[in-house]
């Protein structure tokens, strides 16, 4: 057999074969990597598709939720307001209502106060969409680093939380708040949102809203806030329950001052205030907190003005108290407080259980505006108003009007038939003499406003109750020394004269009460001029029952005591010519 030839394998062949194998392995690896890459891409695409689907579902859910979620109505606490009472000069007298809050328009809030709040609470307010994630991150960073605290919620969110939602704390509640905030931002002007926020946010000291805050911290209205005061109120929003003690607690005051500096610097950086205004700013002084005991005497004034204001508006006193009104009264608070202090100093303690009551009324003759209405020392212990409801037992009270031949029209003719007129009605009678026979019905409310809009303006109700010549006759009788009359008050520049019975060492006076001598149960004194009429009456009671005044007026007899006290109140009034009504000159009209 022929043998098969032997194939000779060279090194080159081996290299060629090895290369082929390596190329095969490389091809395999490349194909493997390609398959893996394609698998990863497919998986990534699936994940991205899933995420995109989830994102679209979330967006769809948000859109549906946005469209289905209505903007709720403000809850009752933010609708309810208080009604504030001020005196004839605009000084704060007191308030009525469940919540110390009053709505005002944004126009009544100075721009620097608005800018201070924005700088302190939400610097992107004018441009954000109602929810600012950057503010949340900034607040979190400040918390971690110990920097100045700034709320994570926008002003819009805070308004929604304060005015439209309950204070519940939960993730669902927070999401609901954010959703409504976006909707509010898209459907309302920024100024409307800011106005709502400023009228509802809590400032401490029981004050909700910037108007009440300005009054509680500085004793003024929001429109009068300075740059420094506005920045201080904006700083308080950070921790109102803590900062409300500013001015009374040194540590709290110091902490607030540091934040106040931060707010002012932010305002200067944003050009909200000039460098000159920043340099001129000084940390403001605050009203002391907590306040002292309420002057219970002022409640008599508020009671009277509240009843009159409600009647003028045709609503109940409860509706008035919750309505956010500002009642501009006719009272002169400075003279009222001075009168209260004088009476308190002169009134002796109860003697054998009997207590002396003093009533003081002062009105503008020919107009009827009540300047002083002292009805008692403390409303909490005696809600009965001696000046409005007390009875001056007639006796010699109306003797000047009983002169033979004199004729009087209403309401003086009716007053002459009364056996016990009130101090207010008695003073109105003598004010008629001061006004040459023109009777003016007493009133205590000059004007009522709401949110800066006037809803009522007083028009004095006057009528001719006696002729000028007859008024002059009575005046002449009262001005004859030594007769059943009186004399001009010494030192009175505008000719005030005083009716009371004669007493030694002083002006001849004409007065007394029901009867005379030790059995007298009321004593009175009237002083008047063409510009002011003042009546003071004394009553006494023991256990709620009237008793004689004698023995309760110290070393002086009751009539001399009444005369002396009335003259001192008259001197407190100074020249009454400066206290005139703010409304137009009255016209004669029937009195109901």
For β-strands 83-86 and 325-329, DSSP reports them as: parallel
Amino acid 567: pLDDT = 87
Q: Cα–Cα distance between 69 and 302 in angstroms, integer?
A: 44
Number of C-beta neighbours around residue 507 at 10 A: 18
pTM here?
Answer: 0.74
How many Cα atoms occupy the beta-carbon half-sphere of 229 within 13 Å? 22
Helix or strand (DSSP H, E) at 462: strand 462-464
b/e map of 302-331 (b: 16 or more CB within 10 Å)? bbbbbebbbebbeeeeeebbbbbbbbbbbb
Neighbouring-strand partners of residue 535 = 361, 526
- pLDDT of 398-454, one tens digit each? 777 777 677 788 888 887 778 788 999 999 988 998 899 999 999 999 999 998 889
- Write the DSSP string, 358-413: EEEEEE-TTT-BEEEEE--S-TTT--S-HHHH-----TTTTGGGG-TT----TTHH
Neighbouring-strand partners of residue 545 = 542
Tell me if 385 sits within 8 A of 306, measured CB to CB: no
- pLDDT of 438-478, one tens digit each? 999 999 999 999 988 899 999 999 999 988 888 888 777 77
Q: Cα–Cα distance between 15 and 136 in angstroms, integer?
A: 69
Reduced to 3 states (helix: H, G, I; strand: E, B; else coil), residue 306 is: helix
Tell me if 203 sits within 8 A of 241, measured CB to CB: no
Amino acid 143: pLDDT = 52
pLDDT in tens, the chain (592 residues): 555 665 565 666 666 766 667 677 777 777 777 778 778 878 888 888 788 888 777 777 667 666 767 777 887 777 788 999 999 999 889 899 888 999 999 999 999 999 999 999 999 999 988 887 665 566 556 555 655 555 558 999 999 888 887 666 666 777 778 888 888 888 899 999 999 999 999 999 989 999 999 999 998 999 999 999 999 999 999 999 899 999 989 999 999 999 999 999 999 999 999 999 999 999 999 988 776 544 568 899 999 999 999 999 999 998 999 889 999 999 999 999 999 999 988 876 677 788 888 999 999 999 999 999 999 988 878 888 999 998 887 666 677 777 767 778 888 888 777 878 899 999 998 899 889 999 999 999 999 999 888 999 999 999 999 888 888 887 777 764 433 334 434 334 444 444 433 222 222 233 333 334 455 678 888 888 888 999 999 888 888 788 888 778 888 888 888 888 888 998 888 744 434 433 333 333 333 2
Pull the structure tokens for residue 438: 């023109």
Pull the structure tokens for residue 366: 């020919």
Reduced to 3 states (helix: H, G, I; strand: E, B; else coil), residue 583 is: coil
Amino acid 304: pLDDT = 96
Q: What are phi and psi of 358, to 5 degrees?
A: -125, 135
Domains of the chain as residue ranges with CATH: 104-280 (1.10.3810.10), 332-442+460-578 (3.40.710.10)
How buried is 215 (Cβ within 10 angstroms: 0-12 exposed, 13-18 middle, 19+ buried)?
Answer: buried
For β-strands 438-440 and 453-457, DSSP reports them as: unpaired
Q: What angle do CA 527, 532, 533 make, to 5 degrees?
A: 40
Name the average pLDDT for the chain.
80
The alpha carbons of the chain give a radius of gyration, in whole angstroms, of: 40
Amino acid 447: pLDDT = 97
Q: Cα–Cα distance between 13 and 278 in angstroms, integer?
A: 93
Amino acid 479: pLDDT = 63
Number of C-beta neighbours around residue 114 at 10 A: 20
Q: Cα–Cα distance between 184 and 187 in angstroms, integer?
A: 5
Helix or strand (DSSP H, E) at 491: none
Q: Cα–Cα distance between 200 and 217 in angstroms, integer?
A: 17
DSSP 151: -
């Amino acid at each position: 057999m022929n043998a098969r030839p032997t194939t000779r394998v060279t090194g080159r062949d081996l290299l060629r074969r090895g290369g082929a194998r390596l190329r095969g392995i490389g091809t395999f690896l490349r194909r493997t990597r390609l398959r893996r890459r394609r698998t990863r891409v497919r998986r990534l695409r699936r994940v991205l598709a899933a995420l995109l689907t989830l994102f679209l579902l979330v967006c769809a859910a948000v859109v549906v939720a946005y469209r289905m979620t209505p903007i709720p109505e403000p809850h009752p606490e933010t609708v309810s307001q208080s009604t504030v009472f001020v005196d004839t000069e605009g000084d704060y007298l007191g308030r009525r209502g469940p919540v110390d809050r009053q709505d005002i328009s944004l126009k009544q809030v100075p721009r620097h106060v608005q800018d201070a709040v924005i700088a302190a609470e939400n610097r992107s307010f004018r441009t954000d969409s109602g929810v600012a994630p950057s503010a949340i991150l900034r607040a979190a960073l400040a918390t971690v680093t110990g920097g100045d605290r700034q709320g994570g919620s926008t002003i819009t969110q805070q308004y929604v939380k304060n005015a439209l939602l309950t204070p519940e704390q939960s993730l669902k509640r927070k999401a609901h708040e954010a959703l409504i905030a976006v909707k509010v931002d898209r459907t309302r002007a920024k100024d409307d949102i800011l106005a709502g926020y400023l009228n509802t946010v809590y400032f401490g000291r029981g004050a909700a809203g910037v108007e009440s805050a300005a009054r509680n911290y500085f004793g003024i209205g929001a429109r009068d806030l300075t740059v420094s005061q506005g920045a201080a109120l904006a700083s308080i929003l950070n921790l109102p329950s803590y900062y409300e003690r500013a001015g009374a607690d040194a540590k709290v005051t110091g902490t607030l001052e540091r934040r106040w500096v931060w707010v002012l610097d932010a305002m200067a950086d944003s050009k909200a205030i000039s460098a000159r205004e920043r340099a001129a700013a000084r940390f403001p002084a605050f009203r002391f907190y907590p306040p002292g005991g309420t002057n219970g005497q002022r409640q008599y004034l508020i009671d009277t003005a509240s009843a009159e204001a409600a009647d003028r508006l045709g609503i109940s006193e409860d509706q008035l108290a919750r309505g956010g009104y500002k009642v501009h009264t006719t009272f002169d608070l400075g003279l009222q407080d001075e009168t209260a202090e004088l009476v308190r100093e002169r009134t002796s303690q109860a003697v054998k259980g009997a207590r002396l009551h003093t009533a003081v009324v002062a009105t503008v003759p020919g107009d009827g505006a009540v300047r002083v209405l002292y009805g008692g020392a403390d409303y909490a212990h005696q809600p009965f108003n001696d000046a409005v409801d007390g009875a001056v037992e007639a006796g010699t009270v109306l003797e000047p009007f009983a002169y033979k031949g004199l004729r009087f029209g209403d309401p003086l003719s009716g007053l002459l038939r009364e056996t016990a007129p009130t101090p207010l009605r008695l003073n109105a009678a003598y004010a008629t003499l001061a006004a040459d026979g023109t009777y003016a019905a007493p009133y205590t409310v000059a004007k009522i406003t709401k949110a800066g809009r006037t809803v009522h303006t007083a028009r004095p109700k006057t009528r001719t109750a006696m002729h000028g010549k007859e008024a002059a006759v009575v005046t002449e009788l009262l001005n004859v020394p030594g007769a059943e009359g009186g004399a001009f008050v010494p030192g009175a520049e505008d000719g005030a004269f005083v009716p009371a019975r004669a007493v030694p060492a002083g002006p001849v006076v004409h007065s007394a009460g029901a009867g005379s001598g030790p059995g007298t149960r009321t004593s009175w004194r009237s002083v008047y001029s063409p510009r002011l009429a003042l009546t003071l009456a004394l009553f006494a009671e023991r256990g709620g029952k009237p008793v004689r005044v004698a023995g309760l007026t110290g070393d002086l007899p009751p009539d001399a005591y009444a005369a002396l006290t009335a003259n001192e109140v008259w001197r407190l009034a100074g020249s009454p010519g400066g206290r005139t009504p703010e409304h137009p000159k009255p016209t004669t009209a029937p009195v109901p």
